[in-house]
Structures are given as structure tokens and as C-alpha cells.
């Protein structure tokens, strides 16, 4: 077993925990006769997902496009900016505080503005998903790229390595564990960002479906949509975990 | 005063390299201070020390006497506050750019995502050598330090001694004229250290590189080197020079001879005097 496995993957223990939770939920709802509109049991939600699958799948597609687009854009820009920061501390001192200040602006408040600026297509939703992925990755990557110990840098200096060689051969690989811990956050939050953006101005997508189901008081469908959103976020997270296993096999050995 | 008619020829500093072997390292009245004028800490003062071509020189001294600073001056990591440093007949920066020396630290500083082979290839890769040459050179050095069979292992899978071997193989791949070693065996257990000491001597004898070797261990310094330099407490300066005339090639047997014990005792006395 790898020492990183405990925090890295839900694994068998996670599946067991989920099963126990679902069983308790199912039993609790039956035991206390909770009305459907307050909390449907997991079995009902499951059958609703099966029944609504064509609708859910049709609406999951735009959400997926937005989440993946935002994930790629937000993380890409964050990584590039972090690389600039490491090589130009002056830029970091100027830009970093602004970036952190921007982070405090609530995204829900920003969404109508982005709709105004970018229209009602994919663009504003991708922008929100990108923004929500951007900050954790920027902070983590800036730390990761700078996290080289002094001796490794001295060694590279005595080998007369160029800045580019140091970036590509040492800084980038050694920052990958930092990058992946940020990507794990971004994988779930980009889905949530896309859904939130759809609440405000959209006629399709899982976020739209949440709003529509609420208005029509279709509680089971609302829960089915929530289940699909969670499943998407979890799938994204698991994909990142799998990618980390492939790309950072030395993790935990250092 | 009588002026001699014939002066010995001046040291051939300006001569082209290759004609006369310049010393591998020459510190001349070198001083170094950390920090700015007000709260500066003077680490080294007035150090004059040479390592001849192909010579093995060890530097010992009390903790914090600036031994490592000395090595960093030669490695062009630091620049002296006063005096001059020459490496292989020119400024340290020039020797570094020509890749004529390499460094090994106490921490092997292997890149954990690279296999042993890839780590040993790193200096060649950075110097832009062809993949074929890289592979061949790295393999040769891996064989030299006794890591054959571990080429594909990651550093995390190796013992401390094996990591240090890999670090030394990496330092050798560019076939440097000078090796700068900063307590490379300081973190190893005694038996491993003994074995690596002997292997280092084997390697040194086969490569003809000069070595500047920083260490805590008096025994190690005596066993390995042609000369042991003893530095004083901070600010460090040369307190004594011990020309170790033990026969070469030195085996572990030499370590147990009366002559070796005597040199060790003398080095200890010199170190104690310098630590006061």
C-alpha cells in the first residue's frame, strides 16, 4: 500500500461508508415516515434517475462542457501565471494581492455581470467554472513551483542549468503533487460553478433543471438532478486521482 | 638585503590551460561575510589554500567554521567578500560554465521522479549531450560506483548509501577535473561510510580528478586525503596543514596502522587547538 492512499482515494472504505449512509437514509425515511417532499429515500431518487435519464443526460451534456472547459481554462491560466510569478517576483507582488482580492467577490454576485458581458451561451458559465478553479490552483502552484529546496537549486546552478531547464526538469515535476491537490478541488468545484452559473441565466443544463424542478415542485426530479451533479463531481475527482497515480508515481517516497 | 639573481618563475596563472597544470582550486586571502554591513556574520577570514591538480584535500574544522562556505565559494554559488578564488586556472564562473567541476552534497539531492540512470544522466542532459552518449557515460559511472542492476530504481527505493553512490556517479558523469564534496557521507552509518570511503578512493585513483572534501570526521579526512587543512572557529581561517604521507593505494588495512593512528591523533590535536 502507498502511504498517500488514505487521503488520495475513497477506495473500499469509502464505498462501505457510502453504503452505510445510504442504508441509514433509506431506513430512517421509512422509520420516521418522512414525507416525500421533505426527503425522498435513495431508492426513489434512483428510480427517478432511471426514469428521467434521457432528460438528465441531455442536460448533463452542456454542464459537462462548461465544467470541463472551465476546469481547463482556469487551471491552465493559473499554472501559467504561477510560472510567471516564480520567475518575476515583482509581478507576483503586484498581481497576487489583486488576485486574492478578486477571490473575495462572491461568484453568485458576479454571474449576472458575466451574463451581461458574455451573453447567455457557454461563455459566462465556462468563465464562472474557470474562476472557481483558478484561485486554489494559483495559490498551490505558486507554492509548488517555489518549493524547491535550496540544495537542488544550488546543484542545478553548479550544472549551469538555464532557468528554462530548471523550470522544466525540476520545478515542474516537483510541483506536480501541489498541482494535483489543487486539481482535486477544482474537479468538483468546476462542476458546481457551472451549475450555479446555469441557475441564473440558462435554458438548459443541470443547473437549469434544478431551478425548473424546484419551480414545478417536482421534488424527486430535483433530487435526481442533484444526484447526477454529485456523480459528475465525484467522477471528475476520481479521474484526477487516477491521473495523479499515473503521473506522480513517486509521491510519498520522498 | 641581497636581491637574488634568479627568481623562481612566477606561478603560471596567465598561461594557457594544458601547458602547465594550474591548481584545481586556489583561495588567496579569501574572506566571506553573510549579510550586510551592520549585522554581517564573518564566516571566513583570510583563507589561503590550494588544491593541486589531481590532489585530494580534506578540510576539517569546528561546526560553523565556514567549511561549507569555502566549498560554495569554489562552486561559484557564493562570491568572496575579499580576496580571490581561482578554479582550474580561472574564475569559478568560467569553470562552472565549462562544466569542469561538479558538486556532491551531504544530502544526495536526487530528483525523486527520475530513475537512478536518469538522475545520473542529468548533468549530461543539461549540457546538451546526445542521448546515446548520455546513456553510455551514465552506465559507465553507475558501474563504477557499484550500482549496476539499480539503473531503473527510483531514489525512494534505495538505501542512504546507495543514494549517495548515485549522487557521486552523477557528479562523475561529466568527467570533471575537480570534485567538490560537502560532507557527502555525513549522514551514513559508520560501516557504510567506511565502504564508500574506500570506493571513493578507487574512483578517485581512476579518474585523476582533484577533490576538495569537507568533513566532520577526522578519521575520514586522514584516511582519504593527501593533505588535511584544519580551520579555526568562526571566522574560519587555516590553522594547520597536515601532509598525510600514508602510502597509496590505501586499503582499510592502512587505516589500522600506527602511522594512520598517529596522523589521526595529530589532526585531533590540531582541531582541538583550532576550536579554542
The predicted-structure confidence for A31-81, as pLDDT tens digits, reads as follows 988 888 888 999 999 999 999 999 999 999 999 999 999 999 999 999 999
Q: Touching check for A160 and chain B: CB below 8 Å?
A: yes
User: Do A132 and A189 meet the contact criterion of CB atoms below 8 Å apart?
Assistant: yes
Distance from CA of B10 to the nearest CA of A (A): 31
Query: How far apart (Å, rounded) are the C-alpha atoms in residues B13 and B120?
Result: 33
Whether the pLDDT of residue B1 is over 70: the answer is: no
Q: Touching check for B93 and chain A: CB below 8 Å?
A: no
Chain B residues whose CB is inside 8 A of the A248 CB are: 113
Q: Inspect the interface and report whether the beta carbons of B77 and A174 lie closer than 8 Å.
A: no
Query: How far apart (Å, rounded) are the C-alpha atoms in residues B123 and A119?
Result: 53
Q: How far is CA A244 from CA A147, A172, A240, B75, in A?
A: 19, 14, 6, 37
Chain B residues whose CB is inside 8 A of the A150 CB are: none
User: Do A131 and A193 meet the contact criterion of CB atoms below 8 Å apart?
Assistant: yes
Strand B82-87 to B25-34 pairing: antiparallel
The predicted-structure confidence for A188-232, as pLDDT tens digits, reads as follows 999 999 998 888 878 889 999 999 999 988 889 999 999 999 999
Q: How far is CA A26 from CA A2, A39, A94, A222, A225, in A?
A: 35, 10, 54, 18, 18
Any idea where the domains of chain A sit in the sequence? 59-247
The predicted-structure confidence for B197-225, as pLDDT tens digits, reads as follows 888 888 888 888 999 999 989 989 999 99
**Nearest residue of A to residue B78 by CA position?**
A154
Q: Touching check for B96 and chain A: CB below 8 Å?
A: yes
Q: Could you tell me which residue, B180 or B240, shows the higher pLDDT?
A: B180
Q: Touching check for B119 and chain A: CB below 8 Å?
A: no
The CATH number of the domain covering residues in A59-247? 1.10.3720.10
Distance from CA of A25 to the nearest CA of B (A): 45
CA proximity to B142, closest of B106, B117, B161, B171: B117
User: Do B257 and B265 meet the contact criterion of CB atoms below 8 Å apart?
Assistant: no
Assign A26 to helix, strand or coil. helix
User: Do B117 and B151 meet the contact criterion of CB atoms below 8 Å apart?
Assistant: yes
Instruction: Check whether the bond before B192 is cis (ω within 30° of 0).
Output: no
Q: How far is CA B254 from CA A243, B140, B218, B251, B258, in A?
A: 55, 28, 15, 5, 9
Q: Touching check for B155 and chain A: CB below 8 Å?
A: yes
Q: Biggest alpha carbon distance in chain B?
A: 69
Q: Touching check for B32 and chain A: CB below 8 Å?
A: no
User: Average of pLDDT values for B51-55?
Assistant: 90
The C-alpha cell that represents A160 in the structure block: 549551469
User: Do B70 and B46 meet the contact criterion of CB atoms below 8 Å apart?
Assistant: no
Q: Inspect the interface and report whether the beta carbons of A157 and B72 lie closer than 8 Å.
A: no
User: Do A97 and A37 meet the contact criterion of CB atoms below 8 Å apart?
Assistant: no
Q: Touching check for A152 and chain B: CB below 8 Å?
A: yes
**What confidence category does residue A4 fall into, taking pLDDT thresholds of 50, 70 and 90?**
very low
Q: Touching check for B92 and chain A: CB below 8 Å?
A: no
Select the residue of A158, A176, A250 nearest B75 (Cβ to Cβ): A158
Amino acid at each position: 500500500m502507498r502511504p498517500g492512499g488514505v487521503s488520495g482515494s475513497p477506495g473500499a472504505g469509502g464505498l462501505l461508508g457510502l453504503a452505510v449512509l445510504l442504508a441509514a437514509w433509506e431506513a430512517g425515511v421509512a422509520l420516521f415516515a418522512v414525507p416525500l417532499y421533505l426527503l425522498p429515500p435513495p431508492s426513489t431518487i434512483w428510480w427517478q434517475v432511471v426514469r428521467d435519464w434521457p432528460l438528465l443526460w441531455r442536460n448533463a451534456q452542456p454542464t459537462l462542457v462548461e465544467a470541463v472547459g472551465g476546469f481547463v481554462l482556469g487551471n491552465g491560466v493559473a499554472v501559467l501565471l504561477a510560472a510567471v510569478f516564480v520567475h518575476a517576483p515583482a509581478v507576483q507582488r503586484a498581481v497576487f494581492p489583486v488576485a486574492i482580492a478578486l477571490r473575495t467577490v462572491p461568484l453568485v454576485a458576479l454571474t449576472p455581470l458575466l451574463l451581461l458581458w458574455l451573453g447567455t451561451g457557454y461563455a459566462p458559465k465556462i468563465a464562472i467554472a474557470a474562476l472557481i478553479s483558478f484561485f486554489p490552483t494559483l495559490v498551490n502552484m505558486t507554492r509548488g513551483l517555489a518549493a524547491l529546496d535550496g540544495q537542488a537549486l544550488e546543484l542545478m546552478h553548479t550544472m549551469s542549468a538555464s532557468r528554462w531547464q530548471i523550470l522544466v526538469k525540476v520545478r515542474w515535476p516537483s510541483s506536480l503533487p501541489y498541482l494535483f491537490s489543487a486539481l482535486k478541488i477544482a474537479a468538483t468545484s468546476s462542476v458546481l460553478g457551472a451549475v450555479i452559473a446555469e441557475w441564473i441565466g440558462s435554458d438548459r443544463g443541470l443547473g437549469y433543471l434544478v431551478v425548473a424542478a424546484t419551480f414545478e415542485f417536482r421534488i424527486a426530479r430535483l433530487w435526481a438532478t442533484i444526484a447526477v451533479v454529485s456523480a459528475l463531481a465525484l467522477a471528475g475527482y476520481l479521474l484526477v486521482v487516477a491521473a495523479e497515480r499515473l503521473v506522480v508515481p513517486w509521491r510519498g517516497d520522498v | 638585503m641581497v636581491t637574488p639573481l634568479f627568481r623562481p618563475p612566477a606561478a603560471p596563472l596567465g598561461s594557457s590551460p594544458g601547458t602547465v597544470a594550474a591548481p584545481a582550486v586556489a583561495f588567496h586571502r579569501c574572506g566571506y561575510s553573510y549579510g550586510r554591513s551592520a549585522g554581517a556574520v564573518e564566516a571566513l577570514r583570510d583563507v589561503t589554500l590550494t588544491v593541486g591538480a589531481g590532489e585530494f584535500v580534506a578540510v576539517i574544522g569546528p561546526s560553523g567554521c565556514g567549511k561549507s562556505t569555502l566549498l560554495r565559494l569554489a562552486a561559484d554559488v557564493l562570491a568572496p567578500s575579499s580576496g580571490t578564488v581561482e578554479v582550474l586556472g580561472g574564475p569559478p564562473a568560467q569553470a562552472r560554465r565549462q562544466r569542469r567541476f561538479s558538486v556532491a552534497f551531504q544530502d544526495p539531492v536526487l530528483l525523486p521522479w527520475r530513475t537512478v540512470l536518469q538522475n545520473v544522466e542529468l548533468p549530461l542532459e543539461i549540457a546538451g549531450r546526445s542521448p546515446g552518449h548520455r546513456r553510455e557515460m551514465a552506465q559507465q559511472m553507475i558501474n563504477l560506483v557499484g550500482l549496476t542492476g539499480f539503473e531503473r530504481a527510483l531514489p525512494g527505493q534505495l538505501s542512504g548509501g546507495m543514494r549517495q553512490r548515485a549522487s557521486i556517479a552523477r557528479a562523475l558523469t561529466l568527467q570533471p577535473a575537480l570534485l567538490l564534496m560537502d560532507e557527502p557521507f555525513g549522514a551514513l552509518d559508520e560501516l557504510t561510510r567506511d565502504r564508500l570511503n574506500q570506493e571513493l578512493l578507487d574512483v578517485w585513483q581512476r579518474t585523476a580528478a582533484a577533490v576538495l572534501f569537507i568533513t566532520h570526521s577526522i578519521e575520514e579526512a586522514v584516511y582519504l586525503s593527501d593533505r588535511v587543512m584544519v580551520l579555526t572557529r568562526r571566522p574560519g581561517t587555516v590553522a594547520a596543514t597536515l601532509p598525510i604521507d600514508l602510502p597509496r593505494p590505501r586499503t582499510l588495512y592502512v587505516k589500522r596502522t600506527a602511522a594512520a593512528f598517529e596522523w589521526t591523533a595529530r589532526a585531533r590535536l590540531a582541531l582541538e587547538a583550532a576550536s579554542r
